[in-house]
Amino acid sequence: MAQHVIRAVGLNKKYGTFHAVKSLDLELDEGDVFGFIGPNGAGKTTTMRMLATLLDPTSGEAYVCGHSIYQRPREIRRLVGYMPDFFGVYDDMKVIEYLEFFAATYRIAPEKRIDICERVLDLVDLMFKRDNLANTLSRGQTQRLGLARVLVHDPQVLLLDEPASGLDPRARIKIRELIKRLRDMGKTIMVSSHILPELADICNKVGIIERGELIVNERVSEVMQRIRSAAVLRISVRNDLQRAAQLIEASPMVDRVETDHDGIKATLVAGEEDYSALAKQLVDAGFALQRFQEEEMNLETAFMHLTEGVSA
């Protein structure tokens, strides 16, 4: 069996009587993008700092690329790129100098530094700011520079703590696109957020943490499947919406039907998965279908279902 890239077993962190992280178990494999979701103060940053070997657990164990966080922290730091939720830049350094400085701390050979730094700047779409002072960048550009900084040593694992926090919509989209590119490069990525929808289309696994406890830890597809007991169809026809709704409602596979400005919303009987006969029935009755598709359950809706009764 292949070795997990990240494996945490019973990870705990206490500050006096306050339990920041409680008995956290986690397994991530190569190429996974793990969306770590929870409100501020739930334990996301504490977990990431323990995995990055920047914070010692109270108890429990964790391994990154097979290395124990207790026994091989130096090896882990060579393999991990950790981007905190807030970081500063040096006022008197150009963007390229800022990256060269960190490349030197990773002992990258001087003759290779410029080439590596320019390649990561190109990756994060900041080459046009190469010779600008780092402290003149916008908030979104600074976040992308921070991501470039953790990429200079080509880490296998990325721990990104709220990388889109405080950004405007355009900057958040750029960060999401960057994470997708890194995913396609085969990186194993753990990315935290309290803004749920921004993770929905980039993650294959999701963890929901509340008050230090990982209450959900599954594939995104499994989460969606678990919270939906019945499929919901969105149907639009070119003519006679009410008659089409009546025909759909009469079908034994349909539990209930609603109509709105967007057309017909049909909730199927629990367990019904093959609804192709319903489309054929509409076409045979002379209706011109404009839309016939299953409604997607978004990550935010999933979060609300799964944390019901848990959140404060």
Is the model more confident about 93 or about 294? Answer: 93
Distance of CA 90 to the CA centre of its chain: 29
User: CB burial class (10 A; 0-12, 13-18, 19+) of residue 269?
Assistant: middle
Please tell me the pTM assigned to this model.
0.77
pLDDT class for 100, splitting at 50, 70, 90?
very high
Residues 133-162 have a mean pLDDT of 93
pLDDT at residue 300 in the model: 65
Q: Which of 11, 44, 41 is nearest to 26 (CA)?
A: 11
Q: Is the pLDDT of residue 273 over 80?
A: no
174: pLDDT confidence band, cut at 50, 70 and 90? confident
| Nearest to 246, CA basis, from 234, 258, 231, 260 | 258
How large is the average pLDDT for residues 295-309? 64
User: 232 near 266, Cβ under 8 Å?
Assistant: yes
| Order of strands, sheet of 232-237, starting from the edge strand that comes earlier in the sequence | 254-260, 263-268, 232-237, 289-294
Q: Does position 78 have pLDDT exceeding 90, yes or no? A: yes
Sequence length of the chain is 312
Domain borders along the chain are 6-226, 229-293
**What pLDDT, on the 0 to 100 scale, is given for residue 312?**
43
CA 198 to chain centroid, in Å, comes to 7
Nearest 5 degrees, angle CA 214-CA 216-CA 217? Answer: 90
- Who contacts 249 (Cβ-Cβ below 8 Å, separation ≥6)? 256, 257, 266
Q: Is 112 helix (H, G, I), strand (E, B) or coil?
A: helix
For residue 151, the SS3 value is helix
Residues forming a β-bridge with 267: 232, 256
The CATH architecture annotation of domain 6-226 reads: 3-Layer(aba) Sandwich (3.40)
For domain 229-293, give its CATH number from 2.60.40.2470, 3.30.700.30, 3.90.79.10, 3.30.70.100: 3.30.70.100
